[in-house]
Amino acid sequence: MYSEKVMDHFSNPRNMGEIENADGVGTVGNAKCGDIMRIYLKVENDIVQDVKFKTFGCGAAVATSSMATELVMGKTIQEALHVTNAAVMEALDGLPKAKVHCSLLAEEALHAALWDYAQKNDMIIEGLEPPKADVHDGEEEEEF
Chain residues that interact with another protein, rule: CB under 8 A: 1-2, 7, 10-11, 13, 16, 18, 27, 31-38, 54-62, 96-99, 136, 142, 144
Nearer residue to another protein within complex by CB, 56 or 79: 56
CB of 33 to another protein, least distance (A): 5
Q: How far is the CB of 43 from another protein (least distance, A)?
A: 20
Residues in the chain: 144
Buried b (16+ CB within 10 A) or exposed e, 91-101: bbeebeeebbb
Give, as one character, the DSSP assignment of residue 130: P
Annotation marks residue 102 as catalytic: yes
Q: Catalytic: which of 102, 113, 114, 135?
A: 102
- Is 58 considered catalytic here? no
For residue 71, the surrounding DSSP H or E stretch is helix 59-72
Reported as half-sphere exposure (CB side, CA atoms, 13 A), residue 35 has a value of: 23
Q: Which residues are catalytic?
A: 33, 102
